[in-house]
A and B are shown apart, each in its own frame.
Chain A
Amino acid sequence: DADVTQTPRNRITKTGKRIMLECSQTKGHDRMYWYRQDPGLGLRLIYYSFDVKDINKGEISDGYSVSRQAQAKFSLSLESAIPNQTALYFCATSDESPYEQYFGPGTRLTVT
């Protein structure tokens, strides 16, 4: 089984709808992240969490909110989706040492 899972993998929704993207991990890591990827812009950080009680905004948090339900679960919500939130969304985890992040498979979100 994958260490970091994301649901759904693909989602099409309409403008104004609320949508939640979910992330679960079995790595046992405290640190979790949400990124969005747009063509030509690389990965941009939306929110990150260093433990269940620590949640921080990234560079593009407007229009998004998150919930850290447990060490293993970190959800991203779009309260009122808009078309420019159409993107590929990644969840990632890492440990405290300066090593790599482990990424989920991504969620492709389309807002019409």
Chain B
Amino acid sequence: AQKITQTQPGMFVQEKEAVTLDCTYDTSDPSYGLFWYKQPSSGEMIFLIYQGSYDQQNATEGRYSLNFQKARKSANLVISASQLGDSAMYFCAMRELGGSYIPTFGRGTSLIVHP
């Protein structure tokens, strides 16, 4: 069974609007970390944001925030004030800290920002 599920293969947003990219996860480990990465068309993987399972507050990094709902096992990425340069693939990943520490990635969501 997939441990990380990204249900949106593609998303579209108007420039300057906010967009939410969905991510749900499955784990029985009480200690884990959640990550989001961005992959622009040039191909490199860029780390965006991290949320630990024991963190009390949602993580934020500039225009990126992680809407962490532990009971629902969701870790949605919110991008505020979208820019054309936000057009990219976005990957959610999880690392279980009680096990092998090996991250598992979702299949990704393609985001296109329209002017």
Contacts and interface: CB of A to CB of B under 8 A. Distances in A.
A111 interface: no
Given A41-B107, A43-B91, A98-B52, A103 B45 contact: yes
A87 to B, nearest CB: 12
B43 A100 contact: no
Interface residues on B, range: 20 to 34
A41 B91 CA distance: 11
B25 interface: no
A58 B101 CA distance: 12
A39 B98 CA distance: 30
B44 A42 contact: no
B43 A98 contact: no
Contact of A42 (B47, B91, B97, B102): B91
Interface residues of A, number: 24
Contacts of B105: 35, 42-44
Interface string B75-115: 00000000000000001000101000111011110000000
29 contacts: A31-B101, A33-B102, A35-B105, A40-B9, A42-B91, A42-B105, A42-B107, A42-B108, A43-B91, A43-B105, A45-B102, A48-B102, A88-B43, A90-B45, A92-B45, A96-B101, A98-B33, A98-B50, A98-B52, A98-B95, A100-B35, A100-B47, A101-B103, A103-B45, A105-B43, A105-B44, A106-B43, A106-B45, A108-B43
Interface of B: 9, 32-33, 35, 37, 43-45, 47, 50, 52, 91, 95, 97, 101-103, 105-108
